[in-house]
């Protein structure tokens, strides 16, 4: 089922206009005394409308920087980042972006309902209580609406953060290791939940992770990055049918793909 798309050139041409397009993107961070480190170089990445793309790479390869540039939190030093035909900052300012990070970043003084409703307040729109309830239900937090974040487990907090990211029906969803701080069992369960939630919402999504299995289970395409400076090393198309069940992770195709991508990452580590 899963097959590798040979990609001689890192550029992948997609027929419909890309929802997220990074072209020739480079990022240099200034260090002290005029020294600089190149985090990304000549990176091309296109994500189609309604596509789920996962980025994996060795730590420090700049995969989070890619995500932060798409979110408008960093500016590229060279090249362009276009999201839904606009600059990322414009998209953020029009409240069309959903984000969830490794740190849940829920407001501790606010209830779960208040946290999920936050994007409505920040967009200056009346809170759609039905939509908030729908999201709370979708992430399986019904009954915990009035709880404070600190009263919930790590997994439940991440669910709330994902509900917050989805509540405004964003054009683009950006996930930076959202389950990175969770234990392996909770993490697998959260991945199954996210796959279910995603197949209901079908939002253009970019996920950054260091977990190859997570990437293969969730994404339509997995992008493997090289170490610093980060470039696209390999693009892997994942063809498991949706909605995906945990059973696919036990299939030989899945294991084969895991081995292939892990091998690519390891080769990078020893290079």
Binding site for other proteins (CB under 8 A): 68, 71-73, 92-95, 97-99, 101, 103, 105, 107-109, 118-119, 121-124, 150, 174
For the record, the structure tokens of 8 come out as: 């001689």
Q: Which of 179, 172, 153 is nearest to 51 (CA)?
A: 172
| Minimum separation from the CB atom of position 93 to other proteins (A) | 5
Contacts for 187-194 with beta carbons within 8 Å, 24 or more apart?
187/211, 187/214, 188/246, 189/155, 190/155, 190/158, 190/159, 191/217, 191/218, 192/245, 192/246, 193/139, 193/140, 193/159, 194/162, 194/218
Alpha-carbon span 137 to 145, nearest angstrom: 10
CB nearer other proteins, residue 28 or residue 110: 110
CB of 88 to other proteins, least distance (A): 9
CB of 253 to other proteins, least distance (A): 35
Which CB sits closer to other proteins, 163 or 222?
163
Token reading at 237: 């198309």
C-beta closer to other proteins: residue 123 or 248: 123
Instruction: Pick between residue 91 and residue 190 the one whose CB is nearest to other proteins.
Output: 91
CA dist 37 → 28, 56, 61, 62, 99 (Å): 6, 21, 12, 11, 27
Q: From the CB of 164, what's the least distance to other proteins, in Å?
A: 8
* CB closer to other proteins, 68 vs 221: 68
CB of 42 to other proteins, least distance (A): 26
């Amino acid at each position: 089922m899963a097959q590798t798309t040979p990609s001689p050139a890192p550029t992948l041409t997609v027929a419909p206009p890309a929802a997220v397009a990074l072209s020739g993107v480079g990022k240099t961070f200034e260090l002290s005394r005029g020294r600089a480190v190149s985090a990304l170089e000549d990176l091309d990445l296109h994500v189609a409308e309604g596509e789920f793309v996962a980025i994996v790479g060795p730590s420090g390869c700049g995969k989070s920087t890619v995500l932060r540039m798409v979110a408008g939190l960093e500016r590229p030093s060279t090249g362009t980042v276009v999201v839904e035909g606009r600059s990322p900052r414009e998209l953020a300012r029009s409240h069309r972006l959903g984000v969830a990070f490794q740190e849940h970043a829920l407001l501790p003084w606010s209830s779960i309902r208040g946290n999920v409703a936050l994007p409505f307040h920040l967009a200056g729109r009346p809170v759609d209580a039905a939509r908030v309830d729908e999201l709370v239900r979708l992430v399986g937090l019904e009954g915990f609406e009035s709880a404070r974040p600190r009263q919930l487990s790590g997994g439940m907090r991440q669910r709330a953060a994902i509900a917050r990211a989805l509540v405004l029906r964003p054009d683009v969803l950006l996930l930076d290791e959202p389950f990175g701080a969770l234990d392996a069992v909770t993490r697998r369960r959260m991945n199954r939940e996210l796959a279910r939630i995603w197949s209901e919402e079908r939002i253009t999504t970019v996920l950054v992770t260091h977990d190859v299995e997570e990437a293969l289970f969730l994404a339509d395409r997995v992008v493997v990055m090289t170490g610093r400076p980060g470039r696209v090393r390999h693009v892997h198309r994942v063809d498991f049918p949706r909605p995906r069940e945990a059973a696919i992770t036990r299939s030989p195709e899945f294991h084969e793909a895991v081995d292939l991508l892990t091998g690519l990452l390891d080769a990078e580590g020893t290079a």
